[in-house]
Amino acid sequence: MGTHAADRDPEGLAVSARVARAELVREIEASGAFAADPGWREAFATVPRHLFVPYYYASAGGGDGTGGLGGVGGYERRWGESPDPRTRERWMRGAYEDVPLATRLRDGVLLSSSSQPSLMALMLAELRVEDGDTVLEIGAGTGYNAALLSYRLGAENVTTVDLDPEITESARRHLAAAGYRPTVVTGDGARGVPERAPFDRIIATCTVTAVPRAWLAQCVPGALILAPLATGLIALTVRDAGHAEGHFLHTAAYFVPLRGSDRAEPEPVALAGVPRRARESERFRFLLALTRGTLDPQEACALWERQGMPGRERYGITVGAEHAWAWLDEPEGPYAWPLPG
């Protein structure tokens, strides 16, 4: 068995970790990510991210700014158990940079990552948790997010699920190494974890194309669901097992797609004929992603410009007993588009 990185220079690495973690927390705080709930600052200052990324793939040319990473080509593997102390130091510094870290690749496809910490902090703050809340996390990843939730709410109140048994097994190991033991389940996140329900909060760390109705059924009335959808973050308040509604947050969000049955990825949209100002706008691309298959790009562009080039926060989603739809400004307004699910 290999020697753990901390065993090679425990005091030096511990100091490096504390310094790097403190700098990361200052960076997250400066971004405003803690604004909705400053209580998360202590969690990020305490939970050691480096224990959840014993190795990761760093881009030789810098990140792509979206949280997504491509194949192994152009990336270097940083390893905390490297015999070279300089490599271990670079691994430690990189573990506390405010960037997403690719942790699992298969045939050039990103399967799992540790998300950008400032985005994680914003999402956790927007959950608006209260003491005693039970939380279901969809997408276990490295286990770092589950550890942050466990620190704040207690591990007994946290459940995390992932489809890939290799991911859940490594998440369990990382969590145990850091001293946290939430419930880690191997299964299809779209189906939730009914045996652990009901939940006060559901947070997804993978992109969905629709809000699974199983999630609503596993929530208490008044629960909050926060999930990446169409390059944004939808925050839904659950009324009952068949109804939920809410707005998107203002921020962009790019995550690995939720994997499992019955969820095909949408085809790319051709932007020929769309003015350059729209093609280059994140706001317009969000509208296209949200209304994919309902509006063609020219129709979407005309609507977007007519409505003052709205940002994500003007859009929302309603999940009804029989149908789900996205909308601009008002659920029953003139601009609404059907959603799958």
68 phi-psi bin (left φ>0, alpha ψ -120 to 50, beta other):
beta
| Contact present, 135 and 201 (Cβ < 8 Å) | yes
Sheet architecture: strand order including 315-319: 183-186, 158-162, 135-138, 199-204, 219-229, 232-240, 243-247, 315-319, 324-328, 336-339
Q: State how far the Cα of 274 lies from the Cα of 300, in Å rounded to an integer.
A: 9
247 phi-psi bin (left φ>0, alpha ψ -120 to 50, beta other):
beta
Question: How many Å from the N-terminal Cα to the C-terminal Cα in the chain?
Answer: 47
Known catalytic residues are 112
17 to each of 47, 72, 93, 188, how far by Cα in Å? 11, 27, 8, 34
